[in-house]
Amino acid sequence: MRGKPATKRVIQPDGKFGREDVSKLINYIMERGKKNAAREIVYDCFDIISAKTKLDPLDVFTQAIRNVSPTVEIRGRRVGGANYQVPVAVRAERSYTLGCRWLLAAARAKKGKRMAEKLAEELTAAYNNEGTTFKKKQDTYKMAEANRAFAHFSS
């Protein structure tokens, strides 16, 4: 590795809930620097969740992220002219990032509704251990299990 590793930036907690993970979600949703639009999407999403499920939206959000965040991922590794899919353990920070990324990709893939509604649907589905994002996590685990024989190639 060249040079020194980049220092971790401190993320300010969001204004409404005072939590860093919600602030990170807002940053992941933001496009073209439109942070207020991203905030509006997240806060509307939380309002929809609390109206439909009668649960605390922060609890639903945390449990949904916990349900879809992977602990194992597949990395391609070239050994002796062959490419192997090697299962690798995931750090907590990357796990959260992958979970959010998968949630947003699944929400953006849906059509016909506002982003806040699509995100609310995906979060409640993930909270109940179902939906597109949860299926992606299960597929990742199946791939890792199928390629467990190549785990000794991880470095």
Domains of the chain: 20-153 (1.10.455.10)
Tell me: the pLDDT tens digits for 19-68?
999 999 999 999 999 999 999 999 999 999 999 999 999 999 999 999 99
Provide the percentage of residues in the chain whose pLDDT is more than 90.
Answer: 68
Please write down the long-range contacts of 99-104, taking CB distance under 8 Å and 24 or more positions apart: 99/65, 99/68, 99/69, 99/70, 99/133, 99/137, 100/24, 100/25, 100/28, 100/65, 101/28, 102/68, 102/133, 102/136, 102/137, 103/64, 103/65, 103/68, 103/133, 104/28, 104/29
